[in-house]
Amino acid sequence: MRRETASLHGHEISYITAGETGPVVVLLHGIAGCADTWSDVIDRLSDSVRIVAPDLLGHGQSAKPRGDYSLGAYASGVRDLTDLLGHERVTVVGHSLGGGVAMQFAYQFPEHTERLVLVSSGGLGRQVTPLLRAATLPFAEYVMPIGVNPRLRNAAQAVGRALPWLSDLMAPAAKEIARGYGSLADTEALRAFVHTCRAVMDLGGQRIDASDRLYLAAGLPTLIVWGARDRFIPVAHAHAAAALLPAARVEIFERAGHFPHRDEPARFAATLLDFFNDEHPATLSADMFRERLRLRG
């Protein structure tokens, strides 16, 4: 794996690349995450595919400007990055928020999308954990710094070291949650997090729901992966999406939570590779989407 940077519209974007041959696969992390969430998976994929895993704007090592943190803006940023790197057509794999971005990418740029993989994806139903809904409250950006105070984080880490059983109970997905939570101690990252939450959610749950547009993805090879123990976004969303996309492949990881790629990286990577090998890349076009829109009315 290599960490690299690119300048897009005056903002630095950090991303991981790996692999030299095979189809191009773009890995999109969830909210408050970064490309490192995919590290165990990238190690297992890079012999077979070429990986691009960006830190989305406002996350990780990428710039955190005051700007547009909507799904459409994220999807356009992913398209700009892949175009800059010379990748005309890609498979998009999105986790949580990244799943919403992946669907938006396929919606905005069908001619550039070969396959779609949704991992515990946002944007498929109303329900979402209250922890994220709270970030949409007024003045959340001023209240939340209390919760991510470095002294409090250090105290929590000390407790974890003193109680190994607690660390074992929470690992490995809890480490991912802790990393994301810890990143919010940075004022700019916290501001981007709140803006992103408000772009896709309100106090009642997710405001963005792609279910009414999934019919446009007919003919696009789609894989849905979910953890049966997901407490952030319920696994029922996977089954609801599959009902709207009968040709989609669905894999439920019974022992995994919201981070199946972290809980079971070997199985996750093998599932992706099987999907890539079995499903030939689609060739969609804006004209095809236009005809489906016309027929649907």
Please give, one letter per residue, the 3-state secondary structure of the chain: CEEEEEEECCEEEEEEEECCCCCEEEEECCCCCCHHHHHHHHHHHCCCCEEEEECCCCCCCCCCCCCCCCHHHHHHHHHHHHHHCCCCCEEEEEECHHHHHHHHHHHHCHHHEEEEEEECCCCCCCCCCHHHHHHHCCCHHHHHHHHCCHHHHHHHHHHHHHCHHHHHHHCCHHHHHHHHHHHCCCHHHHHHHHHHHHHHEECCEECCCHHHHHHHHCCCCEEEEEECCCCCCCCHHHHHHHHHCCCCEEEEECCCCCCHHHHCHHHHHHHHHHHHHHCCCCCCCHHHHHHHHHHHC
The active-site residue out of 230, 237, 261, 263 is 230
| Catalytic residue status for 11 | no
pLDDT in tens, 171-198: 567 778 777 777 777 888 888 998 999 9
Q: How sure is the predictor about 166, in pLDDT bands with cuts at 50, 70 and 90? A: very low
| Catalytic residue status for 230 | yes
The active-site residue out of 76, 96, 120, 121 is 96
The active-site residue out of 95, 237, 258, 261 is 258
pLDDT in tens, 2-38: 999 999 999 999 999 999 999 999 999 999 999 999 9
pLDDT in tens, 96-122: 999 999 999 999 999 999 999 999 999
CA distance 110 to 289: 8
| Catalytic residue status for 285 | no
pLDDT in tens, 200-248: 998 898 988 888 888 888 889 999 999 999 999 999 999 999 999 888 9
pLDDT in tens, 238-266: 999 999 988 899 999 999 999 999 999 99
pLDDT at 81: 98
Q: Which of 31-40, 71-80, 145-154 has the lowest mean pLDDT?
A: 145-154
pLDDT at 94: 98
Which has the higher per-residue pLDDT, 265 or 130?
265
Matching CATH number, 2-134+204-296, of 3.40.50.1820, 2.40.10.10, 3.40.50.300, 3.40.50.720: 3.40.50.1820
